[in-house]
Amino acid sequence: MIEAINGIIQDPWSFLINTLFSEFIAVVVGMAFVILVRDRWVQFRYGKWHVVVKDAGKVYVDRPISASKAKSILEEPAELSVFLKGVVSPYRWIRCDLIEQGKKCGLLVIDKKNRRFIIDLDQAEACESEFSQSVNTTSTP
């Protein structure tokens, strides 16, 4: 013990460099471990989601969604609406609230068990006509 204290007193720079280097290695390894565990958790919790767009029994899109994108759209409903309308836009314009009205009339099905967002364009007409009727009844004086 006394020899160790004498070594520190005699060569403080060597002690300082060795200590800083070992602490740096500990921090880097700790951060790498935390990042790895967090990424695995996000992948486990939000991975393997798909968006499916179908019309008249034909599937136009069955696209996987990355875990980070699935996390952001599942945590914020506004993100979900924008994302799904962007996926559907090459096939059809949806002129109603996809989240609330789309769920009610069957246009949007969120299958959490199979991790799928299913958009059935067969139901779009009914949702849009229901939406336009509700807008017309609320906008008249």
Q: Are residues 59 and 103 in the same domain?
A: yes
Q: Which domain holds residue 98?
A: 48-139
Q: Are residues 72 and 23 in the same domain?
A: no
How many domains does the structure of the chain reveal?
Answer: 2
Give the Cα separation of 81 and 101 in Å (integer).
11
Q: Are residues 17 and 77 in the same domain?
A: no
Residue 138: left if φ>0, alpha if ψ -120 to 50, beta else—which one?
A: alpha
Query: Residues 6 or more apart from 118 whose CB is under 8 A from it?
Result: 52, 54, 108, 109, 110, 111
Whether the pTM exceeds 0.75: the reply is no
Task: Please give the chain's pLDDT, 141 residues, in tens.
Answer: 566 666 566 677 777 788 888 999 999 999 999 999 999 998 999 999 999 999 888 999 999 999 999 999 999 888 998 999 899 988 888 888 888 888 888 889 999 999 999 999 888 777 777 655 554 455 444
Q: Are residues 99 and 41 in the same domain?
A: no
